[in-house]
Structure 1
Amino acid sequence: MEPLLSLVLSTVGTVASGALSGAGGEMGRRTSERLYGLLSRARTADGGAGSGSGGGEEQPTLPVTEQERTAAALRLVEFARRSPEFARDVAEWAREASWLTPRAVPAVAGGASRPQMLPPATAVFTDREDVIAWITTLLNDADPVPGAPTIATLTGPGGIGKTAVAVQCAYALRERFPDGILFVDLAGASAGTALPPSDVLARFLERLGVPPAMVPGDEARQRDLFRDCTADRRMMVVLDNAYADAQVVPLLPASPGCLVLVTSRHRLGRLVAEHGARPRVLGPLSTADSVLLLRRVAGSERAAAPDAVVQAVAGAAGGVPLALCTTGAGLAVREHLAWERVARQLSERIHGHGQVQGQVQGQVPCQGGDDAMRSGSGDDPDGPFDPVRHAQDASYSELTPECAAFYRAIAGWAWPTVTVMCAAHAAGVQEDRARELLEQLARVHLLEEVGEERYRFHDLARAHARELAVAEDGHGRMSAGVRRVAVAQLRWAAEADFRVMPLRWRLGPAYRALVLPQDRDPADGKRALAELRRERENLAAVIRAADHHGFDDLVWQLCEAMWGLHLLLGFHAQWIDTHLLGVAAARRCAAEFGDRRAVGRMLVQLAFGQMGAGRADDAEETLAEAVVADEACGHHRGRASAVEALGLLRLKRWKYAEAQRCFEEAREILGRIREGDDGWEDLPRATALLEHHIGRARTKQRHFAEALARLNDALVRFRRLPDGGDAYNEGRVYMSLGEVHLDAGDPDLARVCLDKAVEAMETAGAGLQLAVAFESRARCHRLSDRPAEAAEDLRTAAVHYEANGDRVGAERIRTGLAELEA
């Protein structure tokens, strides 16, 4: 493929994908619309034949498939060969659009991110020097193959210490990997808890310096960008607790300078066969090392115990580090708990009553190490000898009744992390008490603290607690605890979502009493979005838990409460998965006595997730279903929203006449809402937004007079809104007015409108939109031959991009400024 065609084809793909997902924000929209203009010019020059995207339509439509994108690129290149002016325009467009391509940050760059994501190592780590030596040998003996990292897999039963070994190895070897260490717990205890690769890639890309807005929505493009980011780097990637090969393969860097450590309970044959991974099975600790680890955890301040007794306790743990740590932690925090009593408890659980005396005296020692593991604890954790379970039983027996009930209650679902709020509602206690009980469980190693007031079960401990909960509390009490957690999370998430996007129309009753304080901090919305992001995985788990227990009313409301999070930050795989549950739950509610309006609400939100993932046809079908669902229940506000969303999708796909008809239909539907009906209070703002959309659609059809009329009407409507109007949307309308005048060839009138846009965005405190306004005004100055003013606006735009975290935008502006001043 010739270089020009290859460049244009790649750029068309980037722009088209971004147009659907919203990647690149205002710049992404502008470059998409400029591509539409170029394809329209090429079509006109050819006498109107073809669509410019291979579809044979009267006007070009967004090229979505590979065939359509290839046809569009060929059309541009063919016409560029015949017209030098068109070639210059294509080159300028491609240069601008290249900034939309998510950019890997080279390891040698001044602003390169060198992530250090390792969790803390354990201070009582014992033995395993042979594993570190083995990995070191792999690295030293490796014959670098281009594109192939060194991969080592550590497998073994639960509790054998795979994570601790991987972390310890990573710390021991980190000097060999100066470009950073990535770490993730893949939560692979089961298929249901395992993290999808897309979620992990999004997390890794941000830590590697890719701005969140530039992270692609689909897994394939995320994977490609991740490999770009890690190319030529010397990094370590630790993938802990993998469920299967398919979870790991997309996370492999394509650099021979990288080491990948994977831990799993399962054999990862595909990694070995197809990617050259070197496997190692972790076995139990020796008896001597078991004793050493046990004494380290129990602490040197405890009274000395006979060696035979300590060996008996260590032997009962079977050489399994988790069992040893759980037992030792109990001894460490209970100074009056005797070694002999622990040995007796463990022996009774292993052998039954009556065999303790000889064991404690050393006459019938319970062998640790390999013999113990072969007796059943390895491949069959429920077999005749399960040292982890015995240690957990012993620790559980020492808990107070209140703490034991709390331990059972918080295991009602596989929460990714257990927060104070989650624990308090699961157990039905006050948060202060939950905080104390969580700390008690962490001290005896039944929980692990993984962040400030954030805890996690080892999955074997959670299984132990859940089994006890089923036996002692029953499914009814467990289900009630899950519902309390879901209600609390819904209340919290709705409040946070409201702070992120306070003006959006909402349906769920969780929003009804929410109001914003009059002295609200302008940065509060960003803080709320960060809070939602931190709790993202738990919120998804709550949705799955509520779905499992049949709490349909909570499932769809929780999905609605994640709207701001997903719309602004993506995570499209989770978005789609949770909202499919939301749609099904809303439909079940509608079939009974629930809110029938929820079906359309869920379908609209699902469609936006499908748009973000590039699934335009799926989104069209989903929105069509939403329109039908809202029409069936007579919900005018919901139906108008669904039709509006369909129009926005068609706007993105360059179907401007169809988009306009959708917006006009939505406005007509809104006109049916009467005072007291759902959506009445939202009517003025909703109508103003539709007028703005119609103005944009008319602009792209080059009906400038009507576009100006619509946009000016929208401007008046936004100004009339209560509480001083809507400065942010006023600014957006002024920016659209500027575009109309630019498209009509009048940069001076455009500049007047953009002056107003700058004022409005400053009033609204919308930093990124303010940067866009300055950038657009600079274009007006250039077209009017005012280079000094253009340069000043570009410098100001760069400052605002930088201040609002858009590093790529700032770099793009500074590059353009350098060209202007050259």
Structure 2
Amino acid sequence: MGMALSAVSTVASGALSGAGGETGRRISERLCDLLSRDRAGGGEADTGAEGGGLRQLALPVTEPERMAATLRLMEIARSSPESARAVTEWVREASWLAPRAVAHGASRPQMLPPASAVFTDRADVLAWITALLDEEGRPPGAPTIAVLTGPGGIGKTAAAVQCAFELGERFADGALFVDLNSASGTALSPSEVLVRFLEGLGVPTATVPGDEARQRDLYRDCMADRRMIVVLDNARDDAQVVPFLPASPGCLVLVTSRYRLGRLVGEYGARPLSLGPLSTEDSVSLIRRVVGDNRPPAADAIVRAVVEATGGIPLAVCTAGASLAVREHLTWERVARQLSDRIRGHDQEGAAVREGRSDGSGTPADPVRLAQDVSYSELTPDCAAFYRAIAVWAWPTVSVMCAAHAAGVGEAEARALLEQLARVHLLEEVGEERYRFHDLTRAHARELADAEDGHGRMAAAVRRVAVAHLRFAAGADFRVMPLRWRLGPAYQRLVLPEHRDRADGKRALAELRRERENLAAVIEAAAHHGFDDLVWQLCEAMWGLHLKLGFHAQWIDTHLLGVEAARRSAEEFGDPRAVGRMWTQLAFGYMGLGQVGDAEDALKEARAADRACGHHRGEATAVEALGLLRLRQWESVAAQRCFEEAQQILERIGRGEDGWDDLPRATALLEHHIGRAQTKQRHFTTAIARLNDALARFRDLPGGDPYNEGRVYMSLGDAHLDSGDTELARVCLDNAVKAMTEAGAGLQLADALVARAESHRSAGRPAQEAEDLRTAAACFEENEDPVGLERVRARLAEAEA
């Protein structure tokens, strides 16, 4: 009973989001078929000529509905030995769709940022954590939780990362790391962090559940019995930490925060430790390490004067030392004098030093701010302007592309200037040609930009960054899904190379994924500055990324901005078609989280917006999307009506009008959808005719569409299998395998092979079944899908037993 309920819940959740791909769809439809069986004999229920019995079924979405479906399965299983076998087999198959932990040995994430090469002291922190780990009497299932608190710049992150590296041998299963506050200073959502952790733990992005509760369950499953370090950096409060606490006594959780986390201590047994400034002696050791041996040693008194001005705050010490390390003309005496002058509130010429607070935490006498001011004063005018420009928005990471366009310089110059700022400790390099500000340093640079450049120049920098990211994202999205219809001038004149590498689409998707967080930040920045035309186009350019990989929380956040931007833009002579487009794309984001009501409302808004501006292509897409939602809900009759209505809307498009060029492909897709809906109503003759018509339409497209030809062949295989014609089903699945091979669609090829293996099993061909499963396993392995690989290997073991 428990396994059946879990299987029903997994399949029902995945059906709405499209999780599990073709395999998930087939298993969902198989559940619908099982629940439609006659209670008495295990055969099909009397559905009537129009499929009335099937029409009464609905995907079990709520918990009571899922329990009722499970009880119905149990009743069917008891009706006959044949039904019992069918239910048992379905539960076993469905269990493989459940998001699951990857085998421990398959993924040992190492997500820690680089440790500081000049890390000094804090031996007491390591000793304290070690004592916690060796402490006896901890409750079963409770991880060790250590909380490092202190003000910004005190070195909490550096201490946590250094200790994690020092203790690495005790935690052989790896380390997870996240900065819980985004670069903009807003807390990351639990879902966003869980997605990052699950990916690090080896769960394929496309199989990560859309809803937070299931993500949390999967995370805890992945962490069970592992020995891992989890570093949760920069927590704002207790609630932000709790979702990521593993229920594993073999784990160490290191939390850093500027605030006291009382609930974590009181309810979860965390141990707090407050970090203070370094001693003068340790500060001297640290700054000498930062400065290095390339300049003559300074007198102890001068060095002490410098570090005393920094207050022993590691960030200030490193910032002051980094300037000395790279600027030969800069003397210890000059730095000491500059710091002293700023403490008194005057520069070397006696003028008053700029005052002001960046975020409520800094004052003119703040040691970190003093060191940053000294370092900034030594920059060349070009580098100083660059420093201010890249801080106009809180980009998650500063890439060369981002920096170049923010500052309005070439990439070669941007690359050199980024390296200069990193050398003087005003930036931190966090990856290949990727940099990040400490939040206090970005606040310093942003304040300077506001004072010296003004809003106009800052807004212009944001627009340049947004345009550059739109150009990049549109180009990559075009490579991911070249045949889809799209809106926006960013796609004009984009063409694919004549001899395109089959792996190019996969590479483009990886490029979009690497820039995902920056793209979301660019949308937020553009919306803040009122660049509505860029906001909705950026959302459009992320369609391929979200459709293929999910990231539903970000999808919804960005597209809510996209909807509002498109509305405002349309009111100001922008493209009115964008409003419906944003609503439709937002609806798919809601589907991914199983929010059916929100998805329906969004599609209603989309249709109204498209109808209001006479955009037939957009209105047809909204109606088609509603049909796909109904099909996922098992409402095949309602789905068919939507698809047929979408076809009628497309017929209103005249030659040369918007959408005319896309009509052949759009009509072919709708024919395919209608054929699938008729198959689920068991109208096999008309369904097969529709599917064959769809196949012919795809073949007639200029250049063909092997991917969608393969999908139609798979649907034909399903229709023939359901009608009892296993031989024709095998022929269609042969063609599906051939088409997906031609399309270079690795995971879809694996799905086709698995489907053909099922047909071989139904026909009693075990050797062919095993051969297809072995080939499918190779496809899953090549395309880095460990869950699919594990599922197929289990099936293969059964077939060869």
Q: TM-score range with shorter-chain normalisation?
A: over 0.9
Counterpart of 2:593 in structure 1 is: 613
Give, in whole Å, the separation in 2 of the partners of 1:84 and 1:436. 73
Counterpart of 2:245 in structure 1 is: 252
Give, in whole Å, the separation in 2 of the partners of 1:467 and 1:591. 34
> TM-score normalized by structure 1?
0.93
- Does structure 1 residue 16 correspond to structure 2 residue 12? yes
Determine if contact 2:358/2:444 at 8 Å carries over to the other structure.
no
Please list the CA deviations of residues 758-814 of structure 1 after superposition, one character each: whole Å capped at 9, or x if unmatched: 222222222222222222222222222222222222222222222222222233223
1:65 Cα deviation after fit: 0.7
Give, in whole Å, the separation in 2 of the partners of 1:392 and 1:431. 25
Structure 1 counterpart SS, 2:167: helix
Counterpart of 2:301 in structure 1 is: 308
What residue identity is the alignment partner of 1:65? T
Give, in whole Å, the separation in 2 of the partners of 1:655 and 1:751. 28
- Does structure 1 residue 65 correspond to structure 2 residue 59? no
1:84 Cα deviation after fit: 2.5
Q: How does 1:371-770 map to 2 (within 5 A)?
A: 381-383=361-363, 385-723=365-703, 725-770=704-749
What residue identity is the alignment partner of 1:215? V
Counterpart of 2:338 in structure 1 is: 345
Determine if contact 1:157/1:379 at 8 Å carries over to the other structure.
no
Deviates more, 1:592-601 or 1:532-541: 592-601
Give, in whole Å, the separation in 1 of the partners of 2:640 and 2:347. 84
Over 3 Å counting, the alpha-carbon distance change for 1:78 and 1:34 in structure 2 is same
Determine if contact 2:407/2:461 at 8 Å carries over to the other structure.
yes
Structure 2 counterpart SS, 1:234: coil
Q: How many residues align?
A: 791
Give, in whole Å, the separation in 2 of the partners of 1:660 and 1:61. 15
> TM-score normalized by structure 2?
0.96
What residue identity is the alignment partner of 1:174? G
The counterpart of 1:181, out of the listed 152, 175, 179, is 175
1:411 Cα deviation after fit: 0.5
Give, in whole Å, the separation in 1 of the partners of 2:251 and 2:773. 40
Of structures 1 and 2, the one scoring higher in RCO (CA 8 A, sep 6+) is: 2
The counterpart of 2:154, out of the listed 160, 166, 172, is 160
Structure 2 counterpart SS, 1:239: strand
Structure 2 counterpart SS, 1:681: helix
Counterpart of 1:366 in structure 2 is: none
Counterpart of 1:240 in structure 2 is: 233
What residue identity is the alignment partner of 1:553? D
Counterpart of 2:353 in structure 1 is: none
Counterpart of 2:217 in structure 1 is: 224
Determine if contact 1:344/1:356 at 8 Å carries over to the other structure.
no
Q: How does 1:786-797 map to 2 (within 5 A)?
A: 786-797=765-776
1:102 Cα deviation after fit: 1.3
Give, in whole Å, the separation in 2 of the partners of 1:380 and 1:491. 37
Determine if contact 2:40/2:79 at 8 Å carries over to the other structure.
no
1:587 Cα deviation after fit: 1.3
Q: How does 1:22-37 map to 2 (within 5 A)?
A: 22-37=18-33
Deviates more, 1:728-737 or 1:472-481: 728-737
What residue identity is the alignment partner of 2:87? V
Give, in whole Å, the separation in 2 of the partners of 1:58 and 1:486. 48
Please list the CA deviations of residues 418-463 of structure 1 after superposition, one character each: whole Å capped at 9, or x if unmatched: 1111111111111111111111111111111111111111111110
What residue identity is the alignment partner of 1:408? R
Determine if contact 2:55/2:636 at 8 Å carries over to the other structure.
no
1:378 Cα deviation after fit: 15
Give, in whole Å, the separation in 1 of the partners of 2:323 and 2:762. 76
Question: Which runs of 5 or more residues in structure 1 are unaligned?
Answer: 358-375
What residue identity is the alignment partner of 2:139? V
Counterpart of 1:364 in structure 2 is: none
1:86 Cα deviation after fit: 1.4
What residue identity is the alignment partner of 1:311? R
Determine if contact 2:387/2:445 at 8 Å carries over to the other structure.
yes
1:43 Cα deviation after fit: 6.3
Give, in whole Å, the separation in 2 of the partners of 1:356 and 1:690. 76
- Does structure 1 residue 283 correspond to structure 2 residue 263? no
1:257 Cα deviation after fit: 1.0
What residue identity is the alignment partner of 2:25? R
- Does structure 1 residue 100 correspond to structure 2 residue 94? no
What residue identity is the alignment partner of 1:496? A
Over 3 Å counting, the alpha-carbon distance change for 1:227 and 1:730 in structure 2 is same
Give, in whole Å, the separation in 1 of the partners of 2:387 and 2:349. 28
Over 3 Å counting, the alpha-carbon distance change for 1:58 and 1:351 in structure 2 is same
Give, in whole Å, the separation in 1 of the partners of 2:145 and 2:707. 51
Give, in whole Å, the separation in 2 of the partners of 1:266 and 1:220. 27
Please list the CA deviations of residues 534-591 of structure 1 after superposition, one character each: whole Å capped at 9, or x if unmatched: 1111001001101111111111111111111111111111111111111111111122
Give, in whole Å, the separation in 1 of the partners of 2:309 and 2:428. 22
Counterpart of 1:84 in structure 2 is: 81
1:302 Cα deviation after fit: 1.5
Structure 1 counterpart SS, 2:435: strand
RMSD: 2.2
Counterpart of 2:110 in structure 1 is: 116
Deviates more, 1:767-776 or 1:737-746: 767-776
Determine if contact 1:149/1:257 at 8 Å carries over to the other structure.
yes
Over 3 Å counting, the alpha-carbon distance change for 1:384 and 1:730 in structure 2 is closer
1:56 Cα deviation after fit: 11
Determine if contact 1:413/1:482 at 8 Å carries over to the other structure.
yes
Determine if contact 1:42/1:75 at 8 Å carries over to the other structure.
no
Determine if contact 1:188/1:243 at 8 Å carries over to the other structure.
no
The counterpart of 1:74, out of the listed 67, 71, 86, is 71
- Does structure 1 residue 143 correspond to structure 2 residue 137? yes
Determine if contact 2:364/2:370 at 8 Å carries over to the other structure.
no
Give, in whole Å, the separation in 2 of the partners of 1:602 and 1:142. 56
Counterpart of 2:194 in structure 1 is: 201
1:142 Cα deviation after fit: 4.4
Determine if contact 2:184/2:395 at 8 Å carries over to the other structure.
no
What residue identity is the alignment partner of 1:147? G
What residue identity is the alignment partner of 1:97? A
Over 3 Å counting, the alpha-carbon distance change for 1:508 and 1:565 in structure 2 is same
Determine if contact 1:236/1:258 at 8 Å carries over to the other structure.
yes
Q: What percent identity do the matched residue pairs reach?
A: 75
Structure 2 counterpart SS, 1:682: helix
Structure 1 counterpart SS, 2:575: coil
Give, in whole Å, the separation in 2 of the partners of 1:274 and 1:606. 39
Determine if contact 2:397/2:435 at 8 Å carries over to the other structure.
yes
Please list the CA deviations of residues 171-199 of structure 1 after superposition, one character each: whole Å capped at 9, or x if unmatched: 1111111111111222357653x322212
What residue identity is the alignment partner of 1:187? N
Counterpart of 1:298 in structure 2 is: 291
Over 3 Å counting, the alpha-carbon distance change for 1:786 and 1:354 in structure 2 is closer
Determine if contact 1:43/1:49 at 8 Å carries over to the other structure.
no
Determine if contact 2:757/2:773 at 8 Å carries over to the other structure.
yes
What residue identity is the alignment partner of 2:151? P
Determine if contact 2:503/2:744 at 8 Å carries over to the other structure.
no
Give, in whole Å, the separation in 2 of the partners of 1:323 and 1:584. 42
1:688 Cα deviation after fit: 0.4
1:328 Cα deviation after fit: 0.3
1:123 Cα deviation after fit: 1.4
Structure 2 counterpart SS, 1:238: strand
Over 3 Å counting, the alpha-carbon distance change for 1:152 and 1:717 in structure 2 is same
Counterpart of 2:125 in structure 1 is: 131
Give, in whole Å, the separation in 2 of the partners of 1:84 and 1:290. 78
Determine if contact 1:715/1:730 at 8 Å carries over to the other structure.
yes
1:139 Cα deviation after fit: 1.0
